[in-house]
């Protein structure tokens, strides 16, 4: 009996040694996570994840997305860590630490769970609440058939006012943004992370926070108790208190009449547009529009630059005329005033770009002379489109005369 008992004990000891985690290796992986936060990189950490890795209660690709956002976009520095507890059960090793974030979060608990192969099975850096927003949340349509909206022009951007949670605030009107998008500078909400990706015409913005809006009222266009994405947009107009972007969905039920000379945006119910224009006795010129995709509500109009045919998206949030960098060499001999400039989008990233003046941009029989233009890579935008575009027009074209955009009728009307 003694020999059998000894053999059994040795077998159990060997088995437990094989299955037990190497704490030193696990601690090194925790150190890799700390370095990842401080350096905003998950490249090394990804090599140590278990196949069933979870983060913030999420699994699979969602867990990976949440981890990416926490590590790369937390914008924090972990200055010190201290182990709080260690627990081994059910084949896992759980290590809990106190992380000292030196910028704004202070001391927070972080939990790491390792499987028997020393792979990271679970990581919870913060007490995170995951929210999935509904990007197609509908706004209540105003009772008015025609809404006159005063607008200010700042650096080629349209600034309007709307009531957010009962207080009048300034917003940038940006038809290229999908919906209402808020400036996180004015909202203290560090514990909510969005797993959504918000796409605007000029950039793709990932890893934003989410905030619940109690009420939003843009000239009678309203929504209540709805979650929206937010990130820091202060760089767009640094000297203005801009609370966010008003995108496509709030104004989708109207035709849009831009009158920069009189600093007015008129929103018109589509079935009232013909009567409205008729009463004004304007001279008009119409061209057809097509949408770039079923999901991105960006209208596109065909034009010509020299001998080159171009398809251009229309975005009132584009303060600068934009053409794809792939066109630069083709148009180079036609352009004037070529130079290098910087372009900044909603993602806050700056890029060095070629800029030039297009001598003539023609839409049908309508011609625009001396159009200031920048050239930038548009592959990130075209990747999401069924109908590819060669550029974007905004302020440079829309500000030169009255322009009406009708999404329902799929036409652009130039008005003299």
Distance CA 390, CA 135 (A): 26
Q: Vertex 171, ends 170 and 176: CA angle to 5°?
A: 170
Q: What is the pLDDT of residues 191-235, one digit of tens each?
A: 455 555 555 555 444 446 788 899 999 999 999 999 888 888 888
Tokens of 174: 């940006």
Roughly how many angstroms between the first and final C-alpha of the chain, as a whole number? 105
Closest CA to 98 of 111, 81, 112, 113: 81
- pLDDT reported for residue 364: 96
Neighbours of 291 (CB within 10 A): 17
Distance CA 201, CA 181 (A): 13
Provide the 8-state DSSP code for 104.
T
**% of the chain with per-residue pLDDT over 90:** 66
Residue 146's φ and ψ, nearest 5 degrees, are -130, 125
Distance CA 208, CA 210 (A): 7
Name the one residue in this structure whose structure tokens are 């930038």.
376
Residues 141, 270 contacting (CB under 8 angstroms): no
How much is the average pLDDT of 358-381?
Answer: 94
Angle between helices 60-73 and 23-39 (to 10 degrees): 60
Tokens of 400: 């030169």
Q: What is the pLDDT of residues 274-302, one digit of tens each?
A: 999 999 999 999 999 999 987 778 999 99
How much is the average pLDDT of 390-399?
Answer: 97
Residues 201, 291 contacting (CB under 8 angstroms): no
- pLDDT reported for residue 9: 43
Distance CA 180, CA 189 (A): 18
């Amino acid at each position: 009996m003694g020999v059998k008992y000894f053999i059994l004990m040795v077998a159990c000891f060997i088995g437990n040694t094989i299955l037990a985690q190497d704490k030193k290796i696990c601690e090194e992986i925790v150190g890799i996570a700390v370095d990842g936060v401080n350096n905003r990189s998950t490249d090394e950490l990804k090599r140590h994840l278990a196949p069933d890795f979870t983060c913030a209660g999420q699994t699979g690709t969602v867990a990976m997305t949440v981890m990416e956002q926490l590590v790369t976009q937390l914008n924090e520095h972990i200055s010190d860590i201290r182990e709080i507890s260690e627990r081994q059960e059910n084949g896992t090793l759980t290590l809990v630490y106190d992380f000292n974030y030196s910028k704004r979060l202070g001391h927070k608990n972080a939990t790491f769970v390792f499987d028997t192969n020393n792979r990271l099975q679970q990581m919870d850096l913060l007490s995170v609440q995951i929210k999935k927003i509904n990007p197609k949340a509908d706004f209540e349509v105003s009772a008015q058939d025609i809404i006159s909206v005063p607008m200010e022009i700042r650096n080629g951007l349209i600034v309007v006012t709307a009531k957010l949670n009962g207080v009048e605030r300034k917003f940038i009107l940006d038809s290229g943004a999908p919906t209402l998008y808020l400036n996180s500078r004015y909202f203290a909400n560090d514990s909510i992370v969005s797993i959504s990706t918000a796409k605007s015409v000029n950039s793709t913005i990932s890893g934003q926070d989410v905030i619940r809006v109690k009420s939003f009222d843009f000239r009678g266009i309203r929504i209540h108790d709805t979650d929206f994405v937010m990130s820091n947009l202060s760089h767009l107009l640094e000297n203005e208190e801009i609370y966010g972007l008003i995108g496509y969905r709030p104004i989708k039920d109207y035709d849009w009449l831009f009158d920069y000379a009189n600093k007015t945006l008129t929103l018109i119910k589509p079935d009232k547009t013909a009567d409205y224009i008729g009463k004004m006795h304007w001279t008009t010129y119409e061209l057809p529009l097509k949408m770039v995709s079923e999901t991105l509500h960006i209208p596109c109009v065909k034009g010509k630059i020299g001998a080159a045919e171009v398809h251009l998206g229309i975005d009132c949030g584009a303060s600068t005329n934009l053409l794809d960098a792939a066109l630069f060499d083709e148009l180079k001999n036609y352009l004037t005033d070529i130079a290098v400039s910087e372009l900044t989008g909603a993602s806050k990233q700056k890029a060095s770009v070629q800029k030039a003046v297009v001598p003539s941009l023609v839409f049908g029989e309508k011609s625009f002379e001396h159009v200031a233009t920048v050239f930038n890579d548009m592959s990130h935008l075209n990747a999401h489109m069924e109908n590819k575009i060669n550029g974007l027009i905004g302020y440079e074209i829309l500000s030169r005369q009255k322009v009406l955009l009708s999404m329902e009728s799929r036409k652009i009307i130039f008005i003299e």
